[in-house]
A and B are shown apart, each in its own frame.
Chain A
Amino acid sequence: MTQLATRRDFITTSLAAMAGVGLSTAFNPAFGKTIRPADKIRLGIIGTGSRGAGLATLIREMPEYELVACCDIIPENLQKGLSLAAKNAKGYADYRKLLDDKSIDAVVIATPLYLHYPMAVAALQAGKHIYLEKSMTYDIPQAIDLVKKVKASGLVFQIGYQYRYYGLYHRVKEIMKENWLGKITHFECQYNRNSNWRFPVKDPKMERAINWRMYREYCGGPLSELCAHEIDVVNYLTDSHPVKVVGLGGINYWKDGRDTYDNIRTVYDYPNGVKASVTSVLSNAYNGYSIRILGDKATVEILRDKALIYPEITNNAKGTVDGVTGATIAVTTQGKGVEVKFGKPGEVDLEPTVFALKDFAECVRNKKEPVSNVETGRDGSIAIHMGNAAADTEKVQYWKPEYSA
């Protein structure tokens, strides 16, 4: 038995035990402690691997938080987390012990996808506000159930889709609303890389724990771990969710024992026939992360930290006049993008996650519902699972009415 398998059994059994014993009390609204504005939010991080440690690095610089506890089953990860935490921060290998600490106000959960649901449920039971990394849940029933549990809890629950907090995306949404792009008919999303997407493993026993992204037992592969952001962005920009999806996927390049796709291409159908292709290819990195929004007046291309607008050349009235006088037009020709300006002058250019974490603190202090919340998280997770199911079954997957009931 591998260590991870042991751990998974352990979580499953303990959840079952909780369900048997404590269900009646478990979901009494636990409103969490009131945090005064001057107080730092006492925070614990569950999962201090690459993403969790990255978050800890950002949190360390933020006056809103005091990182008082870390948890990871891998000692190196835990050490790394603690090195970024407050002086007397406590380290745990068992996340339930961390949740037992009554002095902790909120937790960040940055663990493999299959652990999101049980850990989030346990954290709600413990009365903690939650910042849960994307994507939200391993499957559709968990997504639907988590909505109910979060709503019953009265706790702040945010999903780590940081782009909803990033000025670049706010500006793109504004531009769309102002009709700069005209009628929008398609989104083209890709999240590509040219690597096997693996982390080095010293002890072969740790392969599945470290490279959980390779295995369907733990996550949904590139769609849930990479494209999740883009699916959420399309949902955010269109204020909707897909109605159906087709897809094809395969393991055609990295034949290294993985069972998650190394390439997947899906097409989501949104209301009014708007289509979003969502692609991940792990053997080409050209424009790795990009979202193109196709309108009949212009295209916007969103890259990591900038967006370019490419106006369509429309044949103007030059046919009837010989020249046009107007305020000077900056040079724009098809094929040449103009950068979309965003953010306020003087605003520091921060990592988008910092904006998301700042807003989480704001929500915890003022008991507000986050912009990236359990319902938008549910929509993203359901879309991801539908996309994977479409590729697995080679059949169209439809959004069922009960998904968003």
Chain B
Amino acid sequence: MSALRPPATPETYRITGEAQGTTYAITYYSDRKLARKPQIDSIFKSLDASLSIYQPGSLISRFNASSEGIEMDEHLAYVVGKSMEIYRETGGLSDITVYPLVRAWGFGAKAPDEMPDSAAIRQMLPCVGSDKLKIEGRKLLKTTPCVQIDVNGIAQGYSVDVVAEFLEARGIHNYMVEIGGEIRTKGRKLPGNEPMKIGIETPSATEFDAPAIREVISIGTGAVTTSGSYRKFRESGGTRLSHIIDPKTGFPVQREIISATIVAPNAIIADGFDNALLAAGIDGAFEILTRHPEMQAYLIYRKPNGSIADTTSVGFGRYLVR
């Protein structure tokens, strides 16, 4: 009987929900339903149990509370390993041990009672620096008890990869995975065989503005993430504090780049570098990009006169759709 069935037409399947404090949307093109929401939600559950600083019982929270360290699971081991690599690659601009500073500046799980002064920041600096982390087999150790880590800058990208790999394991080869604006795509939209188009958002004035699209790209098989200092900030004395903290000074980064979009083979790489580009400034960002031909970037920045401009790395042009 089944041999007589006409070949099925691929359909569009969508799974949407909330995870990691934001929304996610998965679209895949297949002639059968091959992935379901409960499966996706259980992936998020296992990621949160490992990587979430908002869960007191998570592995990362247990590491932060410990005086010496803990045994890592697969998620944490991979994310920490990658983070250490990027830490070295960016000369320390991307550093997961900034957590005490992140918290002090009010971007942690709980808002602080008051803004830190420079003395308080100086006191925290001895706890900051990925050189104070040691990996011994599956063990993640700290050289000082006050060392705490926050992998939020990279975990979302990693989560995109984990979900994408799950889809591939289910036999899905045409998909888009998006979690909170971080995307990985593979293949094309079926049955029309059109490329998937991704809009790059214009930094908006408020947290609530619907995204306006500044550019449209199509990346084929790969990942794209965007980090911006425009959406997550705290007001202090009339100035907006960026959530990206310079691990060397301990203070929020006040750089000209307001948004960095990176295209890379996978989302953990793109996500792992986007904050560092923001912290590096335009010149520093291009220095990093030159050393990493596998990454292309689109940067929106504020000129000294206050106007907004954009620039791209050499290879980015090939992704632009219009």
A residues within 8 Å of B by Cβ? 178-180, 297-298, 309, 311, 314, 316-317, 320-332, 338, 341, 344-346
Contacts and interface: CB of A to CB of B under 8 A. Distances in A.
B165 interface: no
B211 A322 contact: no
Contacts of B182: 325, 328
Given A321-B197, A345-B106, A311 B208 contact: yes
Contact of A326 (B156, B205, B228): B228
Interface stretch (B77-85, B92-100, B173-181): B173-181
Nearest to A342: B235
A306 to B, nearest CB: 14
User: Which of B27, B112, B206, B228 counts the most chain A CB atoms within 10 A?
Assistant: B206
Given A322-B176, A323-B178, A328-B180, A297 B211 contact: no
B181 A346 contact: no
B226 A326 contact: yes
Contacts of A320: 197, 199, 213, 216
Interface string B147-158: 000000000100
A330 B181 CA distance: 11
Contacts of B3: none
B197 A345 contact: no
Interface in B256-279: 259, 261
B122 interface: no
A147 B134 CA distance: 73
16 contacts: A178-B205, A180-B206, A180-B208, A316-B210, A316-B211, A321-B197, A322-B198, A323-B27, A324-B198, A326-B201, A326-B228, A328-B182, A328-B231, A329-B181, A329-B211, A345-B115
Nearest to B182: A325
Contacts, number: 126
B111 interface: yes
A329 B226 contact: no
A326 B208 contact: no
B181 A327 contact: yes
Contacts of B146: none
B224 A317 contact: no
Nearest to B274: A327
B199 A324 contact: yes
Contact of A314 (B183, B198, B210, B216): B210
Interface in B67-87: none
Contacts of A329: 22-23, 180-181, 207, 211, 231
A177 to B, nearest CB: 11
A324 B198 CA distance: 5
Contacts of A179: 205-206
B189 A321 contact: no
B115 A325 contact: no
> A-B pairs with the 9 shortest C-beta distances?
A346-B114, A326-B201, A327-B228, A328-B180, A321-B199, A327-B231, A311-B208, A326-B181, A317-B213
B54 interface: no
Given A338-B208, A345-B115, A346-B114, A325 B224 contact: yes
A178 B209 CA distance: 12
B294 to A, nearest CB: 18
B232 interface: yes
Contacts of A338: 207-208
User: Which of B21, B210, B234 counts the most chain A CB atoms within 10 A?
Assistant: B210
